[in-house]
Chain A
């Protein structure tokens, strides 16, 4: 197959199997680079496809500048969105709980003594709502950034997702005041991360920003599981 054919085949595969759209020029360069890395030998197409996908998962979509979301979606008061859209998650914050408590847990400085009180027979109030988690996601298609909220619990999401991870948003979604409302069927985690974002948007920094605190150096804490 001629080089253009290989690139086109990869593009078709990304589009059909992963709903991933990439600029042709980027794909061309990527394929060329992969073949050089592989010692000039031409890789079988299915291996090449997979390696192209892996490269895309680790790329900051801002570098591709290839919009997939409807223009000015974030400015609409209310609109419906239908289709499949690959986006990148920049960072995530749980807005159902105080950021202060989350930051203390993240730093490992939460103090169990704070919850000790003299009342030994805690009165249970079953009608009182246990807060359901609500994650607020900062996502981008590389050109347009907007927020997305966990309108209904979505098990695939968590605050441990790596900044820069790619998500596939699909199906029918409402967008209000620039916020996408997500239900479990709307989200598929494709994987990946973006190295610079992992550092810049680690959970500790996200929480510090939410609290208006100076951002601390991660001091190895970014390696923590939570």
Chain B
């Protein structure tokens, strides 16, 4: 049989001839060894032969498979994430080799780092024996780019190679088989967007990092002599959010307010009615109204309304929501959450955990996914209940979709996990079951009172059906008893009190708040939020309080204030957000790679040149935290 299928678009020329080449042996490359093993296990029905490659961490799995309508031998192997890195060419690599401004134009190249050399050699050796290559890396931007690294390495030793892309969202038999049946082309636009990001991150990061590190080490030798003071165009806005919140807490001025509170004791229950005016920031004004009430303290019930109230089941889970919920409810950091989720995914327990989608596609059969969970002693009963609902599983649907992956959901039941892996898996399962079940239902009663023309109200809540709450302990909904009141009836309140209180500042950011801010301002992607947060922690720009809230450190404060005082919003999100938006356009093929690259290089270069000119502002801001600045001469500046 002759093989016919899509070909990689950049292999112009003898395409027809290539297509006629008979395929006997296919090289498959996954992003990690675990994924390669899981996919091979499914494709071979557990009958693959395991062999060693040159890299001890990346095994080879060999088996027969019916691909392209014919029996072929598959060699499935893996990389360990990116195979190649990007670096400046040799003359610019050393820190003192050039003025950092040159790093905006210096030549860069992709290279194979030491720890990837053996993986690369294995690929080169294996591809020589194959006629086709199928890319099985994760189906996201980074995965697409890693795919092209593999393609480039393989094509270099075997130019006549047919290249395919397998698209899948989970390592389950159905999903893997469907991917095999519908192989496509790799998407160069998506990969280009990653190349642009890598190059910009390298140039911007290296230039600013060298500039500020070399300068500040000399100016504050006592505190910074041996410190790397890194800069990144995502890191800094992230740090900026933390500093901004800290400063707004410092600047906050508390104010006293006054309110009137009405209490009514009925059969040992005490109902508190709250003032419709809520609170007043003037003592006399409140006292006037309080006196009016006290002169005629009879309450008249003016309305009693009762209406159904439901508490919504959660939306299907996307990455950002998972990170936020895990951080808040399970106290697992975003970084740790993603690490665990990645592992659960490669074990075939959950679907791909990097997704922006919060609606289930119509063609995804939810019934079987729910059914998988029936064996669980904890939530199996609930899962059975979901299947017995009229109409079956009924997901609440969000509005976001990345057109690539479904919301995060369990793909298999397990009771063999421990610790945080177990807790995160349980959370994902419970969240899934909750979102395909039913909203909790209750009845809310609101009672409005009039006392001398001032209005007060109290509410009660009766829970009628808990529904999703039964499987979702992360949400709370408490019933609140309120006695029966008749419209028009009057009573003497047990107490009418004038009370005071104080306004309080916003709180320091939690990790979940920080992710929300990054998402709102378009800093990083759902795949990278956790990494940027980790970076500012590891650079000591921020620390964590006892209750896990972010507090800026002195260096972090000084850097943000210094750059802010230059007038450039380097620690504000706008600059990076525009970059991120352009990357999206490149990945969709709507903007040109080179154009976007040049535009942003020039923009950041201009900012860099200005920053160097105004570098004294940085010293000034930091000296407020680190002590007096050492003199720094113009000639030393030139030496940089």
Residues of chain B from 143 to 161 with CB closer than 8 A to chain A in the complex:
none
In chain B between 495 and 522, which residues have their CB closer than 8 angstroms to a CB of chain A? Answer: 503, 506, 510, 512-513, 515-517, 520
Residue B321 CB within 8 A of the other chain: yes
Q: Are A176 and B446 in contact (CB under 8 A)?
A: no
Chain A interface mostly:
loop
If A100-B253, A114-B506, A129-B457 touch, whether A134 touches B516 (CB-CB below 8 Å) is no
Identify which of B279-287, B416-424, B557-565, B606-614 touches chain A. Answer: B279-287
Q: Report the nearest B residue to A179, measured CB to CB.
A: B288
Question: Among B253, B275, B276, B284, which residue has its beta carbon within 8 angstroms of that of A177?
Answer: B284
Q: CA–CA, A129 to B274, complex, Å? A: 8
Q: Which residues A142-172 have CB closer than 8 A to chain B?
A: 147, 149
**Contact present for B255 and A179 (CB under 8 Å):** no
For the complex, what is the distance from the CA of A181 to the CA of B515, rounded to whole Å? 48
Contact assessment for A179 and B515 in the assembled complex, using a CB-CB cutoff below 8 Å: no
Which residues does chain B contribute within 8 Å of A181, judged by CB atoms? Answer: 288
Q: How many A residues touch B, CB cutoff 8 Å?
A: 34
Residues of chain A within 8 A (CB-CB) of B291 are 176-177
Render A38-61 as a binary contact track against B, CB cut-off 8 A, 1 for contact: 000000000000000000000000
A118→B516 contact, CB < 8 A: yes
Q: Per-residue CB proximity of A81-110 to B under 8 Å, as 1/0? A: 000000000000001111110000000000
A114 touches B324 (CB 8 A): no
Q: For the complex, is B231 an interface residue (Cβ under 8 Å from A)? A: no
The answer to whether A111 and B248 have CB atoms under 8 Å apart is: yes
Please, how many residues of chain B have a CB less than 8 angstroms from a CB on the other chain?
Answer: 43
With contact pairs A100-B255, A149-B288 given, residues A114 and B446 touching in the complex (Cβ less than 8 Å): no
- Answer yes or no: B172 CB below 8 A from chain A CBs: no
A127/B288 contact (C-beta < 8 A), A100-B253, A100-B503, A118-B328 known: no
Minimum CB–CB distance from B477 to chain A (whole Å) comes to 9
Bound Cα distance A100, B284 (Å): 19
A147 to B516, CA, bound (A): 44
Q: When the two chains form their complex, are residues B281 and A177 in contact, meaning their CB atoms are under 8 A apart?
A: no
Q: Tell me which residues from 13 to 32 in chain B have a Cβ below 8 Å from any Cβ of chain A.
A: none
Question: B458 — nearest CB in chain A belongs to which residue?
Answer: A127
Q: Name which residue of chain A comes closest to B521, CB basis.
A: A113
Taken together as a complex, chains A and B put the C-alpha atoms of A177 and B295 apart, in Å, by 14
The answer for the CA separation of A149 and B287 in the assembled complex, in Å, is: 12
Provide the residues of chain A in CB contact with B312, threshold 8 Å. Answer: 121
Identify A95's interface contact among B280, B321, B510, CB under 8 A: B280
State the Cβ distance, A64 to closest chain B Cβ, in Å.
28
**Interface: B525 (CB within 8 A):** no
A100 in contact with B513 (CB, 8 Å) = no
Give the chain B neighbours of A113 by CB distance below 8 A: 241, 244-245, 517
Contacts of A100 in B (CB 8 A): 252-253, 255, 503
Q: Which of A95, A111, A128 has the most CB of B within 10 A?
A: A95
Assess whether B277 is in contact with A96, with CB atoms less than 8 Å apart. yes
B510 close to A118 (CB less than 8 A) = yes
Residues of B within 8 A of A118 (CB): 324, 327-328, 510, 512-513, 515-516
B281 A149 Cβ-Cβ under 8 A: no
Give Cα A179–Cα B289 distance, bound, in whole angstroms: 11
Taking a contact as CB atoms under 8 Å apart, the answer to whether B446 and A127 are in contact is: yes
Q: How far is the CB of B261 from chain A (nearest CB, A)?
A: 12
In the complex, whether A211 has a CB less than 8 A from a CB of chain B is yes
Chain B residues contacting A211 (CB-CB under 8 Å) are: 253, 255
Known: A100-B503, A120-B516. A176 touches B288 (CB 8 A): yes
Question: Which of chain B's residues have a CB closer than 8 A to the CB of A71?
Answer: none
Once bound together, how far apart are the Cα atoms of A121 and B328, in whole Å?
A: 14
Name the one of A121, A131, A213 contacting B279, with C-beta atoms under 8 angstroms: A131
Please, which residue of chain B has its CB at the minimum distance from the CB of A213? B253
- Separation of A147 and B288 alpha carbons in the complex (Å): 12
- Give B323-338 as 1s and 0s: 1 = Cβ < 8 Å from A's Cβ atoms: 0100110000000000
A96 to B281, CA, bound (A): 6
Alpha-carbon distance between A66 and B617 when the two chains are bound, in angstroms: 58
Within 8 A of A (CB), among B275-310: 275-282, 284-285, 287-288, 291-292
B282 touches A117 (CB 8 A): no
Question: Given that A118-B510, A118-B515, A129-B275 are contacting pairs, would A111 and B244 also be in contact in the complex, using a CB cutoff of 8 Å?
Answer: yes
Residues on B with C-beta less than 8 A from A117 are: 513, 516
Contact of B459 with A131 in the complex, beta carbons under 8 Å: no
List residues 253-269 of chain B with CB under 8 A from any CB of chain A.
253, 255, 257
A132 at the interface (CB under 8 A from B): yes
Rounded to whole angstroms, the CA-CA distance of A174 and B624 in the bound complex is 56
A100 to B312, CA, bound (A): 35
Take A99-B255, A113-B245, A118-B510 as given contacts and tell me if A136 and B275 are in contact as well, using a CB distance cutoff of 8 Å: no
Q: Which residues of A contact B255 (CB under 8 A)?
A: 98-100, 211
Task: Answer yes or no: A116 CB below 8 A from chain B CBs.
Answer: yes
Q: Name the residue of chain A whose CB is nearest to the CB of B295.
A: A78
Q: Report if A5 contacts B (CB, 8 A).
A: no
Judge whether A96 and B280 touch: CB under 8 Å: yes
Q: A211 to nearest B CB, angstroms?
A: 5
- Residues facing A in B426-477 (CB within 8 A) are 444, 446, 457-459
B520 vs chain A, min Cβ distance (A): 6
Residues B324 and A136 in contact, CB atoms below 8 Å apart = no
A214 touches B (CB below 8 Å): no
What are the residues of chain A within 8 A of B327 when measuring CB–CB?
118
- The chain A residue sitting closest to B288, CB to CB, is A176
Interchain CB contact under 8 A, B281 and A95 = yes
Minimum CB–CB distance for B471 against chain A, Å: 17
Contact residues in A for B510 (Cβ distance below 8 Å): 118
Scan A171-196; emit 1 where CB is below 8 A from any B CB, else 0.
00000111101000000000000000
B257: which A residues are within 8 A, CB to CB?
98
Is B321 touching A136 in the complex (CB atoms < 8 A)? no
| A179-226, CB < 8 A from B | 179, 181, 210-213
Query: What are 28 of the A-B contact pairs (CB < 8 Å)?
Result: A95-B282, A96-B281, A98-B255, A98-B257, A114-B506, A117-B513, A118-B324, A121-B312, A121-B314, A126-B444, A126-B446, A127-B444, A128-B274, A129-B276, A129-B278, A129-B457, A131-B277, A132-B276, A132-B277, A134-B280, A134-B285, A149-B288, A177-B284, A177-B291, A178-B284, A179-B285, A211-B253, A211-B255
| 15 other A-B residue contacts (CB within 8 Å) besides A98-B281, A114-B248, A178-B284 | A96-B280, A97-B281, A98-B503, A100-B255, A100-B503, A113-B244, A113-B245, A118-B515, A121-B312, A127-B444, A127-B446, A127-B459, A129-B277, A134-B280, A211-B253
